[in-house]
Amino acid sequence: MKSAQRILLIAGMLLGLPLAGVWLSGQGLSAYLQFPPRTQYVAHAPFSWPVFVVLALLILGITLPFLIRIARSVLPRSRTSATWTATNRVAEIQDLGFPWWGWLALALGGHCWILAWSRQAWFEPYQLYTFTPQWLCYIVTLNALTWRRSGRCLLTHNTKFLLWLFPVSAVFWWFFEYLNRFVQNWYYIACEDFTPLQYAAAATLSFSTVLPAVLSTEEWLASYPRSSAGLHRFIPIRISKPKQLARVLLALSAAGLFFIGWFPDQLFPLLWVAPLLLLMAFNTLRGGSFFPEIQTGDWRRVYRFCLAALICGFFWELWNWHSLAKWVYSVPYVARFHLFEMPILGYSGYLPFGLECAVVAELVRRRL
């Protein structure tokens, strides 16, 4: 199966399976297809301490070994060390100074933040559109920080790839918006007066910044070897029968997507996990791997993408907090202990999302 056909098949599964499940359950489809989405039609389960504790322990069980490994690791001091890599060399490059275009982006980003959180009469016609310029400033600022460390960045040395990420990112995030129709974990306010065309245009522009932001953050993290120290020799994952496992994951993901509209409270994590599993399963079935380095115990890239998405997630939630047009969460079982609008355990969703960003970016890179 060719790459384009495989991507179309995955897209068809993401779009078709949840809708087919809802239709076969006897529910009407109109609410799920309404555009712009306005109706909150999923009644979520209340907060549950047992579920909260179990999920918290699961998240800690996955993340703590990585954090402990990094905390206990000491970077090699010598260039002749056997563990010295190209990533380590970046750390010794002389500070090149922060470029002028980085200062400009930083200043404009600060102004965007002020305008997003303030309510001034003269700015009222533009108040709903602060998200995109603010994140464009973030992207440029992170590229400037990377350039300061290494003398190169996506913006200056891989411009074509960075520019391609914008349209791909818009399509990429629309899939999550669609899947959210079936679980209703977030919804938008202050957008009620948008026409469908206005909503689609404003949302698409905003969504286009997601992948560039995460990839720029990951590249910046890569210039700091300490951020993933010790993970070059961590836990190797070797699967004896990868294609058999891929088929199982493919079947489970497909079944989960089919039933996500039936059991939104129980299956809502699939919104973040299912696209990743589908992409990796199909890639494995054709003999490929998006993260082959983990077979030898090198988890640095995996960790950096998870951390990059989490950092972006922090700023997404921060800048969303007091904006006029914003998203609000409605998550079953764990809707307590908020950091900004997001329940604290909800931030764990950014970890698999970071890997999805890595996979999609790799697909883009292969096509260029």
- Grouping H, G, I as helix, E, B as strand and the rest as coil, residue 47 is coil
36 domain-assigned: no
Burial class (CB in 10 A: 0-12, 13-18, 19+), 207: buried
Domain carrying residue 104: 3-27+45-72+98-367
195 domain-assigned: yes
Containing H/E element for 188? Answer: strand 186-189
The one-letter amino acid at 68: I
Query: Binning pLDDT at 50, 70 and 90, where does residue 39 land?
Result: confident
358: tokens are 């890595």
Interval 70-88 mean pLDDT: 57
265 domain-assigned: yes
Q: Give the sign of the dihedral formed by CA 277, CA 6, CA 200, CA 178.
A: negative
Q: Give the sign of the dihedral formed by CA 193, CA 197, CA 203, CA 205.
A: negative
Which string of b and e fits 165-194 if b means at least 16 CB within 10 Å?
A: bbebbbebbebbebbbbbbbbbbbeebeeb
Interval 334-355 mean pLDDT: 96
Determine the distance from the C-alpha atom of residue 328 to the mean position of all C-alpha atoms in its chain, rounded to a whole number: 18
CB-CB contact of 366 with 354 (8 Å): no
Query: Binning pLDDT at 50, 70 and 90, where does residue 3 land?
Result: confident
Query: Binning pLDDT at 50, 70 and 90, where does residue 248 land?
Result: very high
pLDDT digits (tens, 9 = 90+) for 98-146: 999 999 999 999 999 999 999 989 998 899 999 999 999 999 999 999 9
Query: Binning pLDDT at 50, 70 and 90, where does residue 89 land?
Result: very low
pLDDT at 167: 98
88 domain-assigned: no
Provide the pairing of β-strand 338-339 with 326-329: unpaired
83 domain-assigned: no
pLDDT digits (tens, 9 = 90+) for 8-31: 899 999 999 999 999 999 888 888
- Alpha-helical runs (H) found in 191-299: 196-207, 210-222, 242-259, 264-267, 270-285
For the ranges 40-44, 83-87, 249-253, 287-291, the lowest mean pLDDT is seen at 83-87
12 domain-assigned: yes
Mean of per-residue pLDDT scores for the chain: 91
Looking at the structure of the chain, the number of domains it has is: 1
89 domain-assigned: no
Q: Against a cut of 0.95, is the pTM above it? A: no
312 domain-assigned: yes
CB-CB contact of 214 with 305 (8 Å): yes
Answer whether residue 270 shows pLDDT above 70: yes
Query: Binning pLDDT at 50, 70 and 90, where does residue 75 land?
Result: low
pLDDT at 333: 96
Question: Which residue, 62, 63, 72, 58, is CA-closest to 233?
Answer: 72
Answer whether residue 91 shows pLDDT above 50: no
For the ranges 189-193, 217-221, 276-280, the lowest mean pLDDT is seen at 189-193
For the ranges 39-43, 146-150, 277-281, 363-367, the lowest mean pLDDT is seen at 39-43
DSSP letter at 183 equals T
Q: What is the dihedral of CA 336, 337, 340, 341, to 10 degrees?
A: -10
Containing H/E element for 339? Answer: strand 338-339
* Percent residues over pLDDT 90 in the chain: 80
pLDDT at 196: 94
pLDDT at 90: 44
